[in-house]
Amino acid sequence: MSEENKTGMTRRDLLGNSIKVAAVGSLAGMGVSPMVVGGGVLTAATALPLAAMASGTAEVPPGQLDEYYGFWSGGHSGEVRVLGLPSMRELMRIPVFNRESATGWGLTNESKKILSEGLTPETKEFLHKQGMVSYDHGDTHHPRMSYTDGSYDGRYLYINDKSNTRIARIRLDIMKTDKVLEIPNAHAIHGLRLQRYPKTGYVFCNSEMRIPMPNNGHDMTDPKKYTCVFSAVDGETMKMAWQVMVSGNLDNCDADYKGKYAISTCYNSEEGVTLAEMTASPSDHVVIFNIQAIEAAVKAGKVAIHNGVAVVDGRKEAKSPFTRYIPIANNPHDANAAPDGKYVIVSGKLSPTVYVIEWDKVDELFEGKIGEKDVIVANPEIGLGPLHTTFDGRGNAYTSVFLDSQIVKWNIDDAIRQAKGEKVNPVRQKLDVHYQVGHTNASMAESKDADGKWLVALCKFSKDRFLNVGPLKPENDQLIDISGDEMKLVHDGPTFAEPHDAIIVHKSKVNPVEVYNKDDPMFADLHALAKSDGLELGKDSKVIRDEKTKKVRVYMLSHAPTFSMTDFSVKKGDEVTVIITNIDDVVDLTHGFTMVGHNVCMEIGPQATASVTFKADRAGVWYYYCQWFCHALHMEMQGRMLVEA
Ligand code: RUQ
Ligand code: CUA
Ligand code: CA
């Protein structure tokens, strides 16, 4: 049988060049067993996504590692996902704003503390009245990695929560959330980007909705009196640095590569509250923030204090040194700084164009040498519904075009030449994507090390691209090879609700640990608690019960395949805190602790300690077990809580 006949397609359909022949050849040589499909023979190699095969570069065979990490927003799932690229394999889910069943995020004492300590006093009180200590829902959009001098430094990932007006930080050494902060005076944090130079530095974030300040039941009926703030958070301490009051609302934001400016888009300069009002004007604007001018005012104390935050007035009519308002056609969406450090691109959304703003001209604008419109050096036509732009580091920009369902590749220099009157078409290629693309991002493109290899198109609709799973369809994250002159679509990746944005980071920039450091500051509270009970955490096993408070602390160790206690006894009505240290010092040996019938489950990584508190209000025998398959005798890794009536 010829090579062609085996799969019903020609060798040329399957393989574009000799590299791909080698790839399939090596799989065959690895002894991959053939599957018989409908009378034909399909090898595991040909069962791989055919489009991925077509590129010859996207395939990552079993056992081999990806070249890039992808950090994906989990949208209104409230989490962050880690993917490997180019395989698009999902490697990990990091719970952030959500309550997470497998790891006990939102249930353990440690995660509850992280989720609650950065909330405002008003929110804490509100949640307390609902019987909650924190929110358990979030709507994430924009994951961004910390920088040093415009390059990713692998320390932290930051992400916003639109629904409950928060931001969070993930420690990338352990890939766990370590800080959550509610932004006062704001309402629905949407845009989030980081200071790139000299380092992160500030986390910039946008309030999308306008509210009365203070928002306490007064001045509700006149939306013209509402305000909107741009926020800078200290990314090291995760405390508020300052805020700027602006005219209009704020959608997305970005920052330059020199540490001088941040920029935000505004789709509601009309300051309306209905769709008709928000789209009434022919134009909106972007606001450019002068960071040094704002810092000087904060330092000099020339600020108002609202809810403990230093706020400067950067509204249009204030004509302050803090802001400039650049007119843009109605309802723009994103602002994306190019990795060359020279330009920032504003996508038109309702206008079929993008705006190229030159940072050096922004210097001249603040110096009063030129007018607002003069910072725009090009305004090329791209397609219907441009939303986001990314870059390849070779002078090309790639804009997602929602209504046309396309990624449009265009050249920035050519756009500027065209604006100067030269007869050039900056558009290089339009590639169909499936369907209605929102964010797009290219490998390393949010840093000055943009390498122009891969691009993802995060499509809002998958429609017919996958097997039907009922009325709720997955989104479709498509991988596009941009290494050559032509963009090539190589992979469709279904995803659950709803990756808004993602970044693609070379693996050399990310270096997580394999095992926890038992002396990590994240365990300091637990060490102190054990000490106060006269115990050493991770060494001693003991039940301590306070007859007066009816509080019980159970210190336990886990060591595959046993817990250090086969049983412990409490009295009905006791408040029980179980503190477990996983003393296994072995890579990939995570244990769990699940208490049957008590809604209790938590992850305990190697060398980590975790704790959970619950009310033992059901007399009887209740088994606890390890839910992480850890050993041949994992099923037997269990014990009993005896609750005396
Ligand atoms: S936004 S689909 Cu939330 Cu980043 Cu544009
Ligand atoms: Cu420990 Cu399963
Ligand atoms: Ca508008």
- Given the CA of residue 458, which atom of ligand 1 is nearest to it? 2
d(CA 163, CA 179): 17
Q: What is the pLDDT of residue 57?
A: 67
SS3 113: helix
What SS3 string covers 7-62?
HCCCHHHHCCCHHHHHHHHHHHHCCCCCEEECCEEECHHHHCCHHHHHHCCCCCCC
CA atoms within 13 A on the CB side of 440: 34
348 and 494 assigned to the same domain: yes
Nearest 5°: the CA angle 7, 13, 19 is 100
From the CA of 616, how far away is ligand 2's center (Å)? 23
Q: Which residues hold their Cβ within 5 A of ligand 3, which is an ion?
A: 267, 284, 330-331
> Could you tell me if the CB of 635 is within 6 A of ligand 2?
no
Averaged pLDDT, 463-478 = 97
pLDDT, tens digit (0-9, with 9 covering 90-100), for 257-308: 999 999 999 999 999 999 999 999 999 999 999 999 999 999 999 999 999 9
Token look-up 């365990």 returns 523
193 and 86 assigned to the same domain: yes
Residue 352, C-beta contacts closer than 8 angstroms, at least 6 positions apart:
381, 382, 383, 384, 385, 386
d(CA 144, CA 477): 18
User: Domain for residue 58, yes or no?
Assistant: no
- Given the CA of residue 334, which atom of ligand 1 is nearest to it? 5
Q: What is the pLDDT of residue 59?
A: 87
563 and 478 assigned to the same domain: no
Cβ–Cβ < 8 Å for 67, 88? no
- Given the CA of residue 627, which atom of ligand 2 is nearest to it? 2
Q: What is the pLDDT of residue 13?
A: 36
Residue 20 has pLDDT above 70, yes or no: no
Residue 639, C-beta contacts closer than 8 angstroms, at least 6 positions apart:
563, 565, 566, 567, 568, 623, 624, 625
SS3 309: strand
> Could you tell me if the CB of 560 is within 6 A of ligand 2?
yes
Q: List beta partners, residue 80.
A: 73, 94
Token look-up 């992850």 returns 603
Ligand 1 is surrounded, with C-beta below 6 A, by 141-142, 190, 252, 333-334, 387-388, 438-439, 500-501
d(CA 613, CA 607): 20
Q: Which two tokens stand for residue 632?
A: 């041949």
Last residue of a domain, one of 509, 542, 558: 509
d(CA 200, CA 194): 6
Q: Which two tokens stand for residue 127?
A: 């949640």
Token look-up 């060359």 returns 340
From the CA of 560, how far away is ligand 2's center (Å)? 6
User: Domain for residue 23, yes or no?
Assistant: yes
How many domains in the chain?
3
d(CA 252, CA 267): 10
491 and 530 assigned to the same domain: no
User: Domain for residue 484, yes or no?
Assistant: yes
Token look-up 């959009």 returns 141
From the CA of 439, how far away is ligand 1's center (Å)? 6
> Could you tell me if the CB of 629 is within 6 A of ligand 2?
yes
From the CA of 630, how far away is ligand 2's center (Å)? 4
User: Domain for residue 59, yes or no?
Assistant: no
pLDDT, tens digit (0-9, with 9 covering 90-100), for 519-551: 999 999 999 999 999 999 999 999 999 999 999
- Surface-to-core class of residue 473, CB atoms within 10 Å of its CB (0-12 exposed, 13-18 middle, 19+ buried): middle
SS3 109: helix
Percent of the chain predicted with pLDDT > 90: 90
Largest CA distance in the chain: 88
295 and 421 assigned to the same domain: yes
Residue 38 has pLDDT above 60, yes or no: no
d(CA 58, CA 86): 5
d(CA 484, CA 488): 9
From the CA of 505, how far away is ligand 1's center (Å)? 20
- Given the CA of residue 630, which atom of ligand 2 is nearest to it? 2
**CA dihedral (444, 447, 449, 450) positive or negative:** positive
| pLDDT confidence bin for 464, thresholds 50/70/90 | very high
Averaged pLDDT, 118-140 = 97
Residue 513 has pLDDT above 60, yes or no: yes
d(CA 244, CA 327): 19
User: Domain for residue 305, yes or no?
Assistant: yes
Output the average pLDDT for the chain: 92
502 and 553 assigned to the same domain: no
Q: What is the pLDDT of residue 58?
A: 80
CA atoms within 13 A on the CB side of 537: 24
| pLDDT confidence bin for 148, thresholds 50/70/90 | very high
**pTM confidence score:** 0.91
Q: CATH no. for residue 527? A: 2.60.40.420
User: Comparing C-alpha atoms, which of 573, 529, 524 is closest to residue 554?
Assistant: 529
User: Domain for residue 108, yes or no?
Assistant: no
From the CA of 141, how far away is ligand 1's center (Å)? 7
Range of the domain at 144: 68-98+137-509
Question: Which residue is closest in CA terms to ligand 2's atom 1?
Answer: 591
339 and 256 assigned to the same domain: yes
Q: In what order do the strands lie in the sheet with 396-401?
A: 386-391, 396-401, 406-411, 427-432
From the CA of 595, how far away is ligand 2's center (Å)? 13
412 and 343 assigned to the same domain: yes
- Given the CA of residue 387, which atom of ligand 1 is nearest to it? 5
User: Comparing C-alpha atoms, which of 328, 341, 157, 368 is closest to residue 254?
Assistant: 341
CA atoms within 13 A on the CB side of 308: 9
Q: Which two tokens stand for residue 113?
A: 């503390």
> Could you tell me if the CB of 53 is within 6 A of ligand 2?
no
| pLDDT confidence bin for 6, thresholds 50/70/90 | very low
pLDDT, tens digit (0-9, with 9 covering 90-100), for 48-104: 444 444 444 688 999 999 999 999 999 999 999 999 999 999 999 999 999 999 999
Report the length, in residues, of the chain: 645
Alpha-helical regions (H) of 217-290: 275-278
Q: What is the pLDDT of residue 5?
A: 35
pLDDT, tens digit (0-9, with 9 covering 90-100), for 345-400: 999 999 999 999 999 999 999 999 999 999 999 999 999 999 999 999 999 999 99
Q: Which ligand is nearest to the CA of 591?
A: 2
> Could you tell me if the CB of 637 is within 6 A of ligand 2?
yes
> Could you tell me if the CB of 459 is within 6 A of ligand 2?
no
501 and 574 assigned to the same domain: no
Q: Which two tokens stand for residue 520?
A: 């990590």
- Given the CA of residue 592, which atom of ligand 2 is nearest to it? 1
235 and 151 assigned to the same domain: yes
SS3 618: coil
> Could you tell me if the CB of 580 is within 6 A of ligand 2?
no
User: Domain for residue 122, yes or no?
Assistant: no
- Given the CA of residue 400, which atom of ligand 1 is nearest to it? 2
User: Comparing C-alpha atoms, which of 77, 267, 277 is closest to residue 161?
Assistant: 77
Q: CATH no. for residue 322? A: 2.130.10.10
Averaged pLDDT, 612-635 = 97
Question: How crowded is residue 148: how many other Cβ atoms within 10 Å of its Cβ?
Answer: 15
Strands 189-194 and 567-571: what pairing? Answer: unpaired
From the CA of 316, how far away is ligand 3's center (Å)? 16
547 and 576 assigned to the same domain: yes
150 and 251 assigned to the same domain: yes
User: Domain for residue 611, yes or no?
Assistant: yes
